[in-house]
Structure 1
Amino acid sequence: MPFSHLPVSASRNSAWPKSKITKSVFAILSSSALLSASHLATADEVEVEQVDLERILITSEKRTANIMEVASSVSALFGQELVDSEVNTITELSHLVPSLHVFSWGGRRDSNVFMRGIGPGLFTEPTVGFYVDGVNYGNNSIFDLELVDIERAEVLRGPQGTLYGGNSLSGVINIVTKKPDEVPEFKGVFSYDEFSAKRLKLAINTPLNQDNLFLSVSGSAHHSDGHLKNTYLNTHFGAHNDISARTKLRWLATDDIEVNFVVDYERFRGDSYAMGILDQIKENPDEVQHDFEGIDNRDALGLSITIDFTGKHIDFISITSWRDWENDNSADQDTGHTPGYVFTSSSLEDFEQFSQEFRWSSKGNHPINWLTGLYAYQSETTSHAHNFQDFSAVGMGGPTSDYSVTTKEDESLAAFGQLDYKFTDQLTLTSGVRFHNEKRYAQLDLDFYSRGMIVEYDGKKSFNEILPKFAISYQTLESDLIYSSYSKGYRAGGFDTLYPNQNKPTFEPEYSHNYELGYKTLLLDNKLSLSLAAFYIQLKEQQVQQLLQNATIITDNAGKSESKGIELESRFNLNTNWSLSFSTSYIAAQYKAYKSINFATFMAEDYSDNYLPNTPKLSANLSINHRQELDDNLSLMMQVDNIFMGEHYFDAANTMKQPDYYLLNAKVGIEAQDWYAHLWIKNALDEYYSKVAFNFGFGVTAEAGNPRTIGITVGTSF
């Protein structure tokens, strides 16, 4: 079977066919369901904290609102739900949210977020907005943070430029950490797994006085030698040695003014990409054969100050933030040790951003509610890169070195607003608009000796755009919500700095037209919530990456695409002991006009009607949670997460296919009032899957997903 048609999936245990894996998954889940049913009539119900389906309050729409009354597709996961599912990263978070897929591999630098089929290319601008406590993270290389002391995570699908300071083409991920308050509290969590990976999380909340000044400090430390082995150098591979911390100072200056000052810090140290030739990775998923060991090191510091003013008729908020991120990365790009076939890379990057947001909003229950804001953003990125190549074994030249120095600056100004007009108590019209101006500057100095090419470029580009939004919603007498909406999305153009073309080092903006129809309801005496959304997206002037005949990869506007699908989310509180949550999405995302050169064959091909990369057609998650009182002091906790990821492709040519796979996670433990101990297992069936796959003309390389992992987590709070 040729490389170009190899599926990028297999069972880690070849003696256990996929059909048996599938049957086993459903057998386990069926057993859990039967167990739950048997307990419904016999178990002594115990009062435990559950998500109140009638009052799931979110702030993603920039005002506190019930999620069942928000006329858009939005998901919310609360801190306890993340703890129960042993979620530590946004990749694990994405398994619980429909239409959200995060493809992370190697170090923390590469977190490519796809929403409804729309995502970035290699080292391009993010298509989603990522916010932590109201602060926009402007680079997808800093999305992969440790989730510590989280109050909730909110995910909005579709463009959100009329509500958020930063622009977003496909949606927003909004992380809200816990605010310090007047109640002293200490929380500590320690986990350990069979690969000797250790993770410690701490959170302290203390009032500095009882009236108006409160402090919280949270942090994490993660150490692992890695579960992989580099058999060529006979060393461990995949190590992590990470620490992060966040300090929040909350000051209630007056009855109307609240000030929050936040400082956060990260120091991540780890190995680089665990890539290898596909056949070798499938045969031995826990091994690599690199002759060069790379690193992925990150240091980040962030400061922000948020001022909230609560007026009689108008609320005002100011968010000022500064962030600095440095990354030192090197990798064995050829993923092997073949003489005469060597490709190693190293880069040192520095990213600094400053943003200021002002926002005003009406308050009270009036026929007209409005929100308006101003946003300013500035960032500078500097990169020093070096590539060493020796392709003499494949007839493409001997040892060469390429060096590059790039500086990019980005300045944007935006005015945005949204207005809700209630025609009646049941019928509401929403309209919004964003006026966006973006200026980009780049200075490139790239010496591509291996291609006999020197690129020097110094230029500026400016972009202006008006982005409208319209929605209409109707709330029935039974409080069901029916809505439809249209919004325009946009991603600015810019400068191609990966392997820029001397003749065309720039690319133009990308646009989307988004249509959505949704329905939300509460059933069974408000024990069951259902949210259903159907969407249709047209992408025009799509920014895609193309391979030229001289092996240069450029970003260009060469594509038109469409994405259509349906999403379903539900929660079911059977009683005070048992709860279920289910989410699923089906996405048909295809190119409609896209011609390029195949990365593997170097031949021109028409990719029209091919599926967009990194977009599973079908994905789903079913979580079952149970808490049962054992005596006056102890309770039993059980959690099962069944994650299904449908087939998808890693390339526009649709030659590298990842078949569907299942991840079964489970947890059982004992909980007391001020401590708990949980035994957990992830990927219980040890299913093989590839996180990513590439083919740059020399064969398919891939990185394996995480194997079955058994661990224990203990925690205390008082």
Structure 2
Amino acid sequence: MGPGLFTDPTVGFYVDGVNYTSNGMFDLDLTDVERIEVLRGPQGTLYGGNSLAGIINVITKKPDNFTDARVSVTADTLERRKVSVGVNTPLIEDQLYGGLSLAFTDNNGHLTNIHNGKDYGAREDFVARAKLRWEPTYTFESDLILDFQRLRGDSYALGSAAFIKNNPDKVDHDYDGEDNRDAYGITLVMRNEFSRFDFTSITGWRDWDSYNSADQDASSQTNYIYHNIAKEEQKQFSQELRWASNTASDLQWLAGLYGYYAEYKTKSTNMLDYTAIGWGGPYTDYTNVEKENSGYAAFGQVDYSLTERLTLTAGLRVDMEKRNADIQSNNQSSPSVNIQGDKDFNEWLPKAGVSYAPDSSALIYGTISQGYRAGGFDHLYPNQDDPTYDSETSTNYELGYKASFLDNSLELSTALFYIDIKDQQVQQLVQSTNTIMTDNAGRGRSQGIEFETRYTPAPGWLMELGGSYTNAEYKDYENCAMTSLQSCSGNKMVNTPELTANFALQNTRPLTEQLSLFSRLDVIHVGEYYFNSLNTLQQDPYQLVNVKLGVEAQDWDVYLWAKNALDEYYSTVEFDFGSGHTVEASDPQSFGLTFNAYY
């Protein structure tokens, strides 16, 4: 679907029902996860904007009417160490329960900065999550969740492509960047079961502060400097109310209301000197941004069973959002910018579907659904004459089949999809000013097939196989480098490999009455893809092999593992803003040991 690097995300990310609306909020270590749900394709009807590509829904463990505790210790060859602990216990039997989980990660940094000889890539991360669950009656339940994160670390490990690809364990920085974050959150979930429906209220508050500084020129070259400092503050309040049927009938329904308010403030300073490449300097750019985003929505969905095997689905969401911005920018390469204003975005997001179960172990379905993400104000390098970009919308057509065979030992799931994207939000390089702007391409299209299987041929054995073919192209994208001479129509969408595949083989074998031997092999293939819409920066295909071997008991387990066992190189990011091809290397081969104990 394309990235949301400088815009709203394309994938909705939820933790215990609260939407993390900013990309910066995603990087949070969750130590008490119960399960993760993945919904693929536009989910606009029930989840609203920023869900064009799908939803990642994280559900953490609830404390209950018994005491359990756990501790985990991990260390690896990349000098990373992690300790996490957690406990859940009843505070008042059959009524009030509490839980607390803590995790601390310490990383000295496995890279070397050849400019000063110091280690690079250090990170200290502390997270905490406290829960209070109250069940005063059989029909009412409330969960209060408090979470906190404190992160201190080095900034991006960027470098020139020629240097990093030959020296993936090194950087050459003459400026020590930092990546510091503090995050706080409060979630209150209340549920009540009535005679004909269930009512749920989800209230969320997020506070996220960041200080990031980086050696963006990614070198120690004299008279060539691009150092950036950005201070960000984000606050978000959201409220969702849902009513859902709970009786056995041919008609099942869900209805809801949603609202949110978010504040975003950033102060960015760029210290620049391009004397070495003939662009002048030194000089300093400043950008101060204050934005307020708010939105309201009403949504509903019904499922009606025409027969025992045939079900029809219909849904609709009305979404209204407002963007307000105050942007002040002083850029040496262009006139000063002063932007103040607001813009409204309103969308109707329908969904229709049909499913047919030929028997109790198979399902055939088809859906048509719409998704979107709102437009907004381009604040990275704002343009006084064109400060905004429009909403992006998508229509998704999907036909799928799910089934189980051989007494449920073999599971198969496959889907064909076609996605039509209008006014696709894209980032464009303005070569004349060496800046990036967010704009709308005319049209995009993504189509393909996905499949996954799980097979248990014998007790203790598990085989998994999955893959996808995706043909994602810009169908109408002119002036993609802000010049009339360059068109990206027909080019591949960024970060979208045509072919992906994964294979896993897992075995659990008894050693004694109390001990079992666990082993697992994972192989992942990622086909070639592009980092830019011009399709000039390409990532070659690569394969990742992960191995895990351990001993498991009832109240403890220990594992030896290897990640990227064949030490495959690939880039996590590549770009060229006009002054050179810059990359960041992925994690190299690592071996580790993990010990878990349970009570």
TM-score bracket for the superposition, by shorter chain length: over 0.9
Counterpart of 1:451 (choices 323, 333, 339) is 333
Task: Give the distance between the partners of 1:621 and 1:265, measured in 2 at CA.
Answer: 34
Task: Give the distance between the partners of 1:167 and 1:423, measured in 2 at CA.
Answer: 33
Does residue 560 (structure 1) correspond to residue 443 (structure 2)? The answer is yes
Partner of 2:288: 405
TM-score with structure 1 setting the length: 0.82
Does residue 663 (structure 1) correspond to residue 575 (structure 2)? The answer is no
Q: Is the 8 A contact 2:48 2:317 kept in 1?
A: no
Task: Give the distance between the partners of 1:321 and 1:256, measured in 2 at CA.
Answer: 22
Does residue 519 (structure 1) correspond to residue 391 (structure 2)? The answer is no
Q: Is the 8 A contact 1:253 1:259 kept in 2?
A: no
Deviation at 1:165, TM superposition (A): 5.9
Q: Is the 8 A contact 2:49 2:372 kept in 1?
A: no
Does residue 283 (structure 1) correspond to residue 162 (structure 2)? The answer is no
The 1:439/1:695 distance shift into structure 2, 3 A limit, reads same
Deviation at 1:645, TM superposition (A): 1.1
Q: How does 1:427-442 map to 2 (within 5 A)?
A: 427-442=310-325
Paired residue secondary structure (1:502) = coil
Paired residue secondary structure (2:423) = strand
Does residue 216 (structure 1) correspond to residue 104 (structure 2)? The answer is no
TM-score with structure 2 setting the length: 0.98
Task: Give the distance between the partners of 2:19 and 2:254, measured in 1 at CA.
Answer: 18
Counterpart of 2:148 (choices 260, 265, 284) is 265
Paired residue secondary structure (1:511) = strand
Counterpart of 1:328 (choices 207, 211, 217) is 211
> CA-to-partner distance for each residue in 1:320-357, whole Å, 9 max, x for gaps?
11000001001001100111211010100000000000
Letter in 1 for 2:383: N
Counterpart of 1:533 (choices 410, 415, 423) is 415
The 1:121/1:314 distance shift into structure 2, 3 A limit, reads closer
> CA-to-partner distance for each residue in 1:252-294, whole Å, 9 max, x for gaps?
0211000000000001111111011111111111000011111
Counterpart of 1:471 (choices 344, 349, 353) is 353
Counterpart of 1:256 (choices 124, 139, 143) is 139
Deviation at 1:622, TM superposition (A): 1.3
Q: How does 1:284-433 map to 2 (within 5 A)?
A: 284-433=167-316
The 1:213/1:124 distance shift into structure 2, 3 A limit, reads same
> CA-to-partner distance for each residue in 1:187-221, whole Å, 9 max, x for gaps?
11100112321011111111112211111111211
Deviation at 1:319, TM superposition (A): 0.4
Partner of 2:560: 679
Q: Is the 8 A contact 1:197 1:225 kept in 2?
A: yes
Task: Give the distance between the partners of 1:593 and 1:551, measured in 2 at CA.
Answer: 24
Deviation at 1:695, TM superposition (A): 0.6
Q: Is the 8 A contact 2:6 2:438 kept in 1?
A: no
Task: Give the distance between the partners of 2:252 and 2:360, measured in 1 at CA.
Answer: 23
Counterpart of 1:623 (choices 492, 497, 504) is 504
Q: Is the 8 A contact 2:45 2:370 kept in 1?
A: no
Counterpart of 1:196 (choices 79, 86, 90) is 79
Partner of 1:149: 32
Q: Is the 8 A contact 2:435 2:577 kept in 1?
A: no
Q: How does 1:586-601 map to 2 (within 5 A)?
A: 586-598=469-481
Partner of 1:543: 425
Q: Is the 8 A contact 1:544 1:559 kept in 2?
A: no
Partner of 1:18: none
Paired residue secondary structure (1:451) = coil
Task: Give the distance between the partners of 1:174 and 1:643, measured in 2 at CA.
Answer: 23
Deviation at 1:478, TM superposition (A): 4.4
Partner of 1:638: 519
Deviation at 1:249, TM superposition (A): 0.8
Letter in 2 for 1:198: R
Partner of 2:388: 506
Range with greater deviation from structure 2 (255-264 or 625-634):
625-634
Task: Give the distance between the partners of 1:598 and 1:276, measured in 2 at CA.
Answer: 23
Partner of 2:368: 486
Task: Give the distance between the partners of 1:245 and 1:294, measured in 2 at CA.
Answer: 26
Paired residue secondary structure (2:551) = strand
> CA-to-partner distance for each residue in 1:108-131, whole Å, 9 max, x for gaps?
xxxxxxxxxx13343211111100
Task: Give the distance between the partners of 1:632 and 1:362, measured in 2 at CA.
Answer: 47
Q: Is the 8 A contact 1:292 1:344 kept in 2?
A: yes
Task: Give the distance between the partners of 1:473 and 1:419, measured in 2 at CA.
Answer: 13
More strand by share: 2
Q: Is the 8 A contact 1:121 1:545 kept in 2?
A: no
Task: Give the distance between the partners of 1:553 and 1:717, measured in 2 at CA.
Answer: 50
Q: Identify unmatched segments of 5+ residues in structure 2.
A: none
> CA-to-partner distance for each residue in 1:380-420, whole Å, 9 max, x for gaps?
00000000111111111110100111001001000001000
The 1:620/1:472 distance shift into structure 2, 3 A limit, reads same
Q: How does 1:102-113 map to 2 (within 5 A)?
A: none
> CA-to-partner distance for each residue in 1:617-672, whole Å, 9 max, x for gaps?
11122122111111112111111111111111111111111111111010111111
**RMSD of aligned C-alpha atoms?**
1.3
Q: Is the 8 A contact 1:390 1:400 kept in 2?
A: yes
Task: Give the distance between the partners of 2:433 and 2:123, measured in 1 at CA.
Answer: 37
Deviation at 1:604, TM superposition (A): 3.5
Q: Is the 8 A contact 1:597 1:604 kept in 2?
A: no
> CA-to-partner distance for each residue in 1:79-131, whole Å, 9 max, x for gaps?
xxxxxxxxxxxxxxxxxxxxxxxxxxxxxxxxxxxxxxx13343211111100
Deviation at 1:575, TM superposition (A): 2.7
Deviation at 1:147, TM superposition (A): 3.2
Q: Is the 8 A contact 2:445 2:473 kept in 1?
A: yes
Deviation at 1:488, TM superposition (A): 1.2
Q: Is the 8 A contact 2:3 2:495 kept in 1?
A: no
Deviation at 1:167, TM superposition (A): 5.1
The 1:609/1:165 distance shift into structure 2, 3 A limit, reads closer
Task: Give the distance between the partners of 1:540 and 1:196, measured in 2 at CA.
Answer: 46
Deviation at 1:228, TM superposition (A): 0.4
Q: Is the 8 A contact 1:590 1:610 kept in 2?
A: yes
Range with greater deviation from structure 2 (668-677 or 369-378):
668-677
Q: Identify unmatched segments of 5+ residues in structure 1.
A: 1-117
Letter in 2 for 1:516: E
> CA-to-partner distance for each residue in 1:547-570, whole Å, 9 max, x for gaps?
333333221123311000111122
Paired residue secondary structure (2:474) = strand
Q: Is the 8 A contact 2:520 2:547 kept in 1?
A: yes
Q: Is the 8 A contact 1:161 1:416 kept in 2?
A: no
Q: How does 1:22-101 map to 2 (within 5 A)?
A: none
Deviation at 1:447, TM superposition (A): 1.0
The count of aligned residue pairs is: 598
Deviation at 1:452, TM superposition (A): 4.3
Partner of 1:236: 119
Q: Is the 8 A contact 1:441 1:459 kept in 2?
A: yes
Deviation at 1:603, TM superposition (A): 7.8
Task: Give the distance between the partners of 2:179 and 2:435, measured in 1 at CA.
Answer: 25
